[in-house]
Each structure stands twice: as structure tokens, then as C-alpha cells.
Amino acid sequence: MDKNQKLEYIFKAIKEAYPGKTLVFNDGSPDAPVMIIGEAPGADEEKQGKPFVGRAGKLLNATLEILGWQRSDFYITNIVKYRPRDAVGGTLTPMPQEIEKFRPAIEKEIEVVDPKLIVILGRIAMAGLGIGGTMAENRGKVIEKNSHKILITYHPAAILRNINWEPMFREDLARMREFV
Ligand code: URA
């Protein structure tokens, strides 16, 4: 089985585990050297069926382009593969139990893609990979876990709320060059 077939197999298992949910899986190439992991899809992602295509995704794309990359140079995914919603359809932050339930799937996804570097966007993705500590303690750091290097930075939605953090976000993403 090649990587795409193995990923299809993971997605099939997720579909079976969550019948009735609108799922958003991945984008980009599984042969990319860098795997970018976010939190969960939002309304735009749910509509288009791809991760990071809304406002936060546009900021991510723009930052990658400033640094000389294209979005298609990466493999992009989320921890939680559906949009967590409240009773009236608003988007929620994933709950700790939801994040835990997706841990085996994201671990398998990482194993299949086997990137040179994983980039974690925000604290939910950090929790999804079982990394403790706060964003303030971890951002800009590269840690090693299960023989994968993991660079931790802010979620682009956090940059939209705190534009003063944008230079740090860009600086962190520029570090990807050290690993590819
Ligand atoms: N935020 C995320 O974490 N993932 C997306 O796909 C979109 C917004």
C-alpha cells in the first residue's frame, strides 16, 4: 500500500467511527517533508471539505508565501476531523475527550506521512499529540517525540486576534527551513 492508500484506510476508519458527521481530512501531499497540524475544521472548512481554507487558513497561506513556500508544499491536517458544534450550530473548541479520541488516528497519520518535521499550530494540536505545558512555554521550540521533530507555534486564529504576535509566528515558521 502506498501512503495515499494507507491514509484512505485511516479516513475510512474515522468515517466508520463518526457516521453522520461531516468530516474534513487532509490537504496537500503525503510526501511533503513538513506536516502541519491544526485544531479542527471551522464552518468554511466544513463547506469546502479541506483544512485551513477560512480566515485562519488565508493567514497561514500568506505567511507561508512570504517565507517562499506554497501551501501545496505541505501536508495539512487537523487533530479533530469534524467541526465541534453547540446546540445552535456555533463552532466550539474541541473538548479534551474529543481530542483524546482522535489521538490514535493522528498518531497513525503521522506514522504514514513520516514527515521530517511536524508543525503544531496552537494548544489544541499540542494537546492532541500529548504535549504538556502552555503555549507561552512552548512556542518557537522544537521538541522530539516518538523520533519525530515537532515545532510548536501559535494557531493562525490567535494571530488574527493578536496581530502583535504575527512577527513571532512568522519567525517560528521560518525555522522550518532548518529541517527540510
Ligand atoms: N482552524 C483549524 O485548526 N483548522 C482548520 O482547518 C481551520 C481552522
Of the CA atoms within 13 Å of residue 111, those in its CB half-sphere come to 9
Q: Report the relative pairing of strands 75-78 and 26-28 from DSSP bridges.
A: antiparallel
Ligand 1 pocket member 38 (CB < 6 A): yes
Multiple choice CATH, 35-178, 3.40.50.2020, 3.40.470.10, 1.10.510.10, 3.40.630.30: 3.40.470.10
Looking at residues 127-143, what average pLDDT do you find? 96
| Interval 2-55: pLDDT, tens | 999 999 999 999 999 999 999 999 999 999 999 999 999 999 999 999 999 999
| Interval 58-83: pLDDT, tens | 999 999 999 999 999 999 999 999 99
Ligand 1 pocket member 45 (CB < 6 A): yes
Q: What does the domain layout of the chain look like in residue ranges?
A: 35-178
**Helices marked H in 18-165:** 43-48, 55-66, 96-101, 103-113, 123-128, 135-138, 156-161
Residue with CA at minimum distance from ligand 1 atom 7: 52
Is 154 in contact with 169 (CB distance < 8 Å)?
yes
- pTM of the model as a whole: 0.98
Distance 52 CA to ligand 1 centre (A): 5
